[in-house]
């Protein structure tokens, strides 16, 4: 129970990666606040986790708006008395689309949730941690974080590159304080992020390869949860400005071998 003394807020945590993070932290003793824009999703998640004997509370709030972040922080303080770790996980996918095929409203919403919402949270949470004298802030990055080309997911990738840059800058700004600010790249994870994705006509063959890519390269949800537990358990301020990539090592080597096999058998065409 290495997180028994921690209160952790995880945005966008009623499903997928966020849910895995929230549950893994709660199982290690943390008091966890789950969040989504949808009240039903929050209720279902909190009931399930509470029913498993875990310490959780939840709040429906849109974290792309400053008021949503403020309400979420206040809920955590009112319920648990403090916040030790804040995880900016909430994010929207682009699917597989060229930018020209996207509606301006869709582009704006992805940027608002993935980047602007993260900025709003950092703006509010970092001063709280500084005043309290302790805290860990974790920003979810992802594909595009390294600045490499990301065709057909350009908007999403641009937000994640920005999140990584933001994280490093904020860590440098606050290095004098006993807080940690890190980015985490979970890698490809088989969630509805990929299963329910929007695909522009003409890209179906590329999309059809995704199940094989996921089979070869996906990071299991339980691995993501365990790594977040380890990061959340660190001593605040001991290190800051790191970018943790959860994909690599033996998993990368095995995955590349699998991908080569899929290409040779014609299962992956692009």
> DSSP 3-state assignment of 186?
coil
Query: What's the start-to-end Cα distance of the chain, in Å?
Result: 45
What order do you get walking across the sheet with 56-60 strand by strand?
A: 56-60, 31-36, 7-10, 85-88, 135-140, 179-185, 243-245
Phi and psi dihedrals of 51, rounded to 5? -65, -20
Non-local CB neighbours of 167 within 8 Å, separated by 6+ positions: 139, 141, 181, 182, 183, 241, 243
Q: Is 262 a catalytic residue?
A: no
CA atoms within 13 A on the CB side of 153: 24
Active-site pick, 152, 156, 194, 244: 156
8 A C-beta contact, residue 145 and residue 161: yes
Task: Indicate which residues carry an active-site annotation.
Answer: 156
């Amino acid at each position: 129970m290495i997180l028994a003394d921690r209160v952790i807020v995880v945005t966008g945590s009623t499903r997928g990666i966020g849910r895995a993070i929230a549950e893994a932290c709660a199982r290690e003793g943390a008091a966890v606040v789950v969040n989504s824009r949808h009240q039903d999703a929050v209720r279902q998640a909190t009931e399930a986790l509470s029913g498993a004997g875990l310490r959780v509370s939840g709040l429906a709030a849109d974290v792309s708006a400053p008021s949503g972040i403020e309400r979420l922080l206040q809920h955590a303080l009112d319920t648990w008395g403090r916040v030790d770790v804040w995880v900016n996980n909430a994010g929207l996918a682009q699917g597989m689309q060229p930018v020209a095929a996207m509606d301006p409203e869709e582009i704006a919403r992805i940027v608002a949730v993935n980047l602007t919402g993260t900025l709003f949270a950092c703006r509010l949470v970092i001063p709280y941690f500084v005043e309290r004298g302790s805290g860990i802030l974790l920003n979810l990055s992802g594909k595009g974080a390294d600045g490499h080309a990301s065709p057909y997911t350009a908007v999403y990738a641009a937000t994640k590159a920005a999140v990584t840059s933001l994280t490093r800058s904020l860590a440098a700004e606050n290095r004098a304080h006993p807080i940690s600010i890190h980015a985490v790249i979970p890698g490809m994870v088989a969630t509805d992020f990929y299963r329910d994705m929007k695909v522009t006509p003409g890209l179906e063959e590329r999309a059809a390869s995704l199940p094989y890519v996921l089979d070869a390269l996906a990071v299991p949800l339980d691995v993501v949860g365990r790594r977040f537990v380890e990061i959340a358990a660190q001593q605040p301020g001991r290190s800051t400005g790191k970018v943790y990539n959860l994909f690599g090592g033996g998993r990368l080597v095995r995955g590349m071998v699998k991908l080569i096999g899929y290409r040779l058998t014609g299962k992956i065409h692009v």
